[in-house]
Amino acid sequence: MTGRTLHVDPSNADQARSWDGPEGAYWAAHAEQFDRSVHAYQGPFLDAAALHRGERVLDIGCGTGLVSRAAARLTAGGEVLGVDLSRAMLEAAREEAAREGLDTVRHEQADAQTHPFPEGAFDVALSRTGCMFFAGPVAAFRNIARALRPGGRLVLMVWQDMSRNEWFRSFATALAAGRELPAPEPGAPGPFSLADPRVVREVLTAAGFAEPELTGVELPMTFGRTADQAYAFVSGLLAWMVEDLDERTRARALDDLRTDISAHATGAGVLYESAVWIVRTVRP
């Protein structure tokens, strides 16, 4: 897809600039660490998807393609399309799929909110922490519903409330350096935009899906094998949180982050508590 212009809904322009820019490039460069951080959830998520041989799968916000590749193996003989806003992550996804010899999976740069997917082309739509960033979630899920055949399944993994996710609270508190960080605006795109089951149900039913089923899962996240590895990864990922601080305050914030990460180091890696909803519904 090199050289193709990405067309996004105007409301998603900020997300496109971020994911098709520095943020997406960082994810692509550290794909292994990102995938390892949520590795514990891969089994429960794919179990919920219950993929079968020959099914056609749409992977929304596919990133560097771990879920797409797993779906290709589980649906041997089917087809998998992974879509994302980030060219850097998609290139990494294509390279890994080619390395593994998975010729039934392809990846395309697209805004799932507006992309003209063929109507009824997929049996299953999946998204592992990739669907919380839509500026117009009802419009986005309505477009995804259109891409599913009648009776087609939608399976999502979204973060529960930030109060249930120690990793977020700990990192934000450390890097705040005593500042009071603004709370996300209700309904604004972000990792916790679908944390409230009531919002999930309202959005999905308004988009034309059946009443969804939400299952809570709580598992540890692994941010590195050692404290040094985890610190390098997280401080790079969240560098934007301290870029406007003076040198002294920035040093304090990073010291606080290192201290917190060291306190979470175990023989099994640097572990933080986390919680997600696995959401299942169908297009009637």
Residue 146's pLDDT is what?
98
Q: What is the pLDDT of residue 27?
A: 86
In whole angstroms, give the CA distance from residue 153 to residue 50: 10
Place of tokens 């039913």: 205
Instruction: Give the per-residue pLDDT at 8.
Output: 61
Residue with tokens 């959005």: 203
Helices 66-74 and 39-49: angle between axes, nearest 10 degrees: 40
Strands 265-266 and 213-222 turn out to be unpaired
Predicted confidence at residue 19, as pLDDT, reads 66
Secondary structure of the chain in HEC code, one letter for each residue: CCCCCCCCCHHHHHHHHHHCCHHHHHHHHCHHHHHHHCHHHHHHHHHHHCCCCCCEEEEECCCCCHHHHHHHHHCCCCEEEEEECCHHHHHHHHHHHHHCCCCCEEEEECCCCCCCCCCCCEEEEEEECCCCCCCCHHHHHHHHHHHEEEEEEEEEEEECCHHHCHHHHHHHHHHHCCCCCCCCCCCCCCCCCCCCHHHHHHHHHHCCCCCCEEEEEEEEEECCCCHHHHHHHHHHHCHHHCCCCCHHHHHHHHHHHHHHHHHCEECCEEEEEEEEEEEEEECC
- Are 201 and 154 in contact by the 8 Å Cβ rule? The answer is no
> How high is the pLDDT of residue 23?
81
Domains and CATH numbers, the chain: 10-163+185-221+274-282 (3.40.50.150)
Q: What's the pLDDT at 163?
A: 95
pLDDT of residue 63: 95
What pLDDT score was predicted for residue 22? 77
- Give the pLDDT means over successive 10-residue stretches in the chain (284 positions): 53 62 85 95 98 98 97 96 95 97 96 95 97 94 98 98 96 89 74 96 98 98 98 94 92 97 98 98 98
Q: What is the pTM of this model?
A: 0.92
Alpha-carbon span 215 to 58, nearest angstrom = 21
Give pLDDT, residue 85.
93
The C-alpha atoms of residue 173 and residue 181 are separated, in whole angstroms, by 9
